[in-house]
């Protein structure tokens, strides 16, 4: 079983929120800091502006070859120099979820090159995907990115490329939260 990761936006936590941009749909409540916890009990602290939950889970689209390429190039989370982060919660439309598996894969990779594009920004941009849909969460996905400040331009390029894809026409809600880590 996978551990549920809880992202709490409020007044505490090691990550300072430096930008909160609504890309599509409703914004989140204002918050100054972000706390990230695995298997937190309860629903976050009382002063929380919002609490989002997701599970890393198993892979839904990646094939054996792509998995090997991703594993070879992916850095771990928590690199000392990776003091910049982004949390991008996304919800896709009912039309997306109603597609059969083969057509979702087709849009995802053959049509939108989601995996191939991400690979080009490795090992600079570390990434972890969390699934929230089956938990009844407001967001289907919470993607967490970590990078060092000199790679910020590369990260902007990556998110801009993904937002231009056919896959992104299925996105009905997207919030883009940028963060800076406090020194330990």
Stretch that binds a second copy, among 28-36, 60-68, 141-149, 164-172 (CB under 8 A): 60-68
- Indicate the DSSP class of residue 111: I
Task: Determine the 3-state secondary structure of 156 from DSSP.
Answer: helix
Single out the residue of 174, 66, 170, 75 nearest to residue 115, CA to CA. 66
Q: Which of 11, 66, 157, 176 binds a second copy (CB under 8 A)?
A: 66
Q: How many CB atoms lie within 10 A of CB 94?
A: 8
- Indicate the DSSP class of residue 2: P
Is-cis flag, bond preceding 123, omega within 30? yes
Single out the residue of 141, 118, 122 nearest to residue 82, CA to CA. 122
Contacts of 158 by beta carbon, 8 Å cutoff, 6+ apart: 117, 118, 121, 125
CB of 21 to a second copy, least distance (A): 24
- Indicate the DSSP class of residue 155: H
CB of 165 to a second copy, least distance (A): 19
What are the two backbone dihedrals, phi and then psi, of residue 44, each rounded to the nearest 5 degrees?
Answer: 90, 170
Is the CB of 109 or the CB of 146 nearer to a second copy?
109
Stretch that binds a second copy, among 7-15, 24-32, 62-70, 113-121 (CB under 8 A): 62-70
Is 55 a binding residue for a second copy by CB under 8 A? The answer is yes
CB of 153 to a second copy, least distance (A): 32
Q: How many CB atoms lie within 10 A of CB 80?
A: 8
Is 67 a binding residue for a second copy by CB under 8 A? The answer is yes
- Convert residues 117-146 into a mask of x (bound to a second copy by CB under 8 A) and - (unbound): --------------x-xxxxx---------
Q: How many residues bind a second copy (CB under 8 A)?
A: 28
Stretch that binds a second copy, among 1-9, 17-25, 144-152, 168-176 (CB under 8 A): 1-9
Is 41 a binding residue for a second copy by CB under 8 A? The answer is no
What residues make contact with a second copy under the rule CB under 8 A? Answer: 1-4, 55, 57-64, 66-67, 97-98, 100-103, 105, 131, 133-137
């Amino acid at each position: 079983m996978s551990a549920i990761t809880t992202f709490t936006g409020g007044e505490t936590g090691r990550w300072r929120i430096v930008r909160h941009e609504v890309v599509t749909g409703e914004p989140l409540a204002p918050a100054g800091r972000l706390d990230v916890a695995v298997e937190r009990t309860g629903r976050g602290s009382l002063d929380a502006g919002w609490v989002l939950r997701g599970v890393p889970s198993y892979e839904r689209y990646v094939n054996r070859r792509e998995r090997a390429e991703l594993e070879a190039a992916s850095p771990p989370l928590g690199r000392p120099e990776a003091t910049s982060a982004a949390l991008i919660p996304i919800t896709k439309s009912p039309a997306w979820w109603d597609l059969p598996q083969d057509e979702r894969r087709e849009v995802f990779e053959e049509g939108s090159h989601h995996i191939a594009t991400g690979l080009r920004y490795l090992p600079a941009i570390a990434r972890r995907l969390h699934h929230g849909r089956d938990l009844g969460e407001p967001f289907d996905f919470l993607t967490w990115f970590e990078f060092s400040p000199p790679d910020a331009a590369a990260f902007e390029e990556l998110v801009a490329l993904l937002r231009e894809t056919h896959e992104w026409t299925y996105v009905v809600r997207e919030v883009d939260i940028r963060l800076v880590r406090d020194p330990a």
